[in-house]
Amino acid sequence: MHTLLKYFQLITALVMMLLILAQERGTGLSLTLGGMGHVYHSKRGAEKVIAIATVVAAVFFVVSSVALHFV
């Protein structure tokens, strides 16, 4: 069980790193054209899916860390 949790935590950490790197902050068409880049916009489409998946991966990582501590 201990080894399984270690592998699960490793895979979760790698997935979380890839998801964080996939998020693009501060880049967009408005910055390219010289517009205001500090305007708030809501996440849509793939950007929203990646953001939710990052939160889910972070929760799995924390849960596996706590479980690994008690096993």
**Which stretch of 1-5, 10-14, 15-19, 34-38 has the lowest confidence by average pLDDT?**
34-38
CA distances from 34 to 16, 28, 42, 67 (A): 32, 10, 20, 49
Angle between helices 2-22 and 46-70 (to 10 degrees): 150
| Domain boundary assignment for the chain | 1-17+46-71
Kindly report, residue by residue over 15-68, the tens digit of the pLDDT: 999 999 988 766 554 455 555 556 666 777 888 899 999 999 999 999 999 999
Enclosing H/E stretch for 38: none
The phi and psi torsions of 12 (rounded to 5 degrees) equal -65, -40
7 has a pLDDT exceeding 80: yes
* CA atoms 55, 61, 63, 65: torsion sign: negative
Global pTM? 0.72
